[in-house]
A and B are shown apart, each in its own frame.
Chain A
Amino acid sequence: MSIRAPRKGENYELSVDLNSEYRDKRKDAIKRVIASMTVGKDVSGLFPDVLKNMQTDDLEQKKLVYLYLMNYAKTQPELVILAVNTFVKDSEDPNPLVRALAIRTMGCLRAEKIIDYLCDPLQRALRDDNPYVRKTAALCVAKLYDLKPELVIENGFLDQLRDMISDSNPMVVANTVAALTDIHISATSNQPSDSTSDPAVFSITSAILNKLLIALNECSEWGRVAILNALARYDAQDDKESEHICERVVPQFQHVNGSVVLAAMKVIMIHIRNVRRDDLVKQLIRKMAPPLVTLLSSPPEVQWVALRNINLLLQKRSDLLANEMRVFFCKYNDPLYVKIEKLDIMVRLASDSNVDALLSELKEYSSEVDVDFVRKSIKAIGQTAISIESAAERCVNVLLELINTRVSYVVQEAVVVMKDIFRKYPSTYEGVIPTLCANLEELDEPEAKTSLIWIIGEYADKIDNADELLGIFVDSFTEESYQVQLQTLTAVVKLFLKKPDSSQGVVQRVLNTATKDCDSPDVRDRAYIYWRLLSTDPGAAKAVVLAHRPPISIPRTTVSPALLEELLGEISSLASVYHKPAQTFVGHGRVGADSVQRKGLEISDAQKALQTVVAGQQAENLLDFGDDSTQDGQPSGLAATQILPSTPAAANFLSGTSANPLDDLVSIFGGMETMETSAGSLSTALSPTMTSLSSPFEGFGGPPALPSQPRQNAQPEEDLLGLF
């Protein structure tokens, strides 16, 4: 027994009132107890007094007492025993509400001692005449399983649940499905430790399938979601059955509740894989667009979830919303998180036919007040230029207009983007260079500086005063950040190789400063390499530093194809919102690391999958687009970056399955290899060390690349490429 409260104070008064002879006074006292409980005061001392009020005809009072019990049952399990008799009695009450309430509360108490008394009433409740009691009881079985699975199995509750799938009341069916799914999940996740239970607690057969499809149209929105989630797990026997499921599920798109719509979409995306009839596939895809658009008229929170899912769907079915780009135009008042998603989707939907509208929007956004959003918009212009060649010139013109605004962060971002455009379309837009160079003074961010320096170095032979411009950076060499130093070094060497006569002095100066006054080993090492190269074999230096680079391209997906397939099966879940497989952030229970491995093997040969992942990651790093939500660590406010800071999904996939240290090397050497062979093929990346060794520059090329490894995830680096 707990210690009695002293004979004064609030609790004492409450205790007196709880024992009052007047019904109203007692009820009022209970309310006050609950109120104190809510604000965190300890009223556990009143347990016996509250318990006395449990036997009452007033349903409201009973509920409040139950509420109190639920709250303190965990800390005072021995006292709860006192309530058992009332619970059992209530479970036989003529009023179904009281019966259901008793069952539900007993399930919530989670006290070991009370569980043994739960089985008989639960047995009765599962067979109750009243559907409200039955559906409450169904969920209670899942709770009991959570506490003591053996009790559920001994009492045959599982079989009873399976029978209840055929219940006449759709709500009972829905709750039964939800309960069975819960049990199934906890059973399969505990499988190794708990071998007594049959892991496949809830395997869906064709007979069950039909019952589910019938109940689907008749139950509440929550019931529909539960049933749809169960349908998503079903393995269709043949394409006929898949078609049947799709056809029956499609009407759910017309439900007002967005979560039903997304759950239905998940089912379709899973079962559409087996649909062979092209016309049906087309029809299904066409029907998916309108409900997605409708979701965009919801509050911003729902919009955001919808947009994240749309983003994923588009990666698989790019034709999904082909004519709907305008729906995604950002409004000034949209929250930032919505705007950023919309922007990403707009770029994804860009095509020859709508690129003008897109560009004028992006230009508009670039004049907004919000710095983060402005930067993203300018990046989007660059992405458009790179993905739609015919529009590249228009993009460049927009960028020039933006540079002329002379707003510092606009200019800097535009310079960074211009560098990427130069990479994609070498020697095409050289006319822009004077404008860029005119803004040299404005730049104060390292990334913008390195971009401009790279451009100057790359086109040194076309810029008359390149030595002067680079001289500015050489003068302030020791004050610059390391990435700027590295880039300056490379650009000056490029300049020297292109115009050896006029730049002898500046190259000497930069090599001197870099090797003597610089405290970064990276910079020093690179300077030494250049120095040796230049002094021993200028021809080799030329071959390395001025080597032809493969043009860059934009990956149309932010995740690897294998992962995309997996995520599409998880539409309408956290995984699809974060664009990461569930196990990377759920971890607990569910699916462990070994099953990831299994999945990898199932999808394709594990090595092959890895290679795709590595290649994708590598391509993105080389790309140097900081806008990729799964890649960068920018304070964009994306949830994706909050989960696993600086750990992209690809890397996770890698660490989850990789048994081969060579793979890690691949990601480091992949970039060099493309440089040397200039084949641009990353698919042969598995033998990079060999290729590298055969190259005469291996000794020079290796070391400077290594330090980039730890930073690889944080911020895409320019230095790998910049070196050459």
Chain B
Amino acid sequence: MFQNFWTNLLCGGCHLEFLNRKRNDRKEKYFSDKHEWVDVDEKNKTATVGVTHYAQDKLGEIVFVQLPEIGQALEAHGEAGVLESVKAASDVYSPISGKVTAVNTTIVDNPKLINDSPYKDGWMFKCTVGDPKDLVGLMDEAGYEEYVKTCD
């Protein structure tokens, strides 16, 4: 019991709260090795795409978002947009192929949403699932967490 108390205080409390905050935000997703996530709605065959917490952290404060056009055809791992953080313009890639059906205009007005809520309010665009086989090469949440540990 004493051990549990100290665990909560030193490691568990802060850490679990951090993990929980991330987990509640995240839902079930697939992840690419370039730190994009894709959330697939199997019933409606649509996907939502954004960048991960690791990506936004590495980019720093995002000051401009360039999203794809609605109707634009995307290739798996092809360019889908640009995020500009302090002085650097970074290409964003679509983890899957498909056609863009919606874009998140809120982040165009408030790019910092991607930093503050990368898995929820900071989603970038929605698209159709062009080929379900594109998902095969992607990681699940646990796999991505392991992968991120090797990145730094």
Q: A and B: real partners?
A: no
> Which residues of A are at the interface with B, using a C-beta cutoff of 8 A?
none
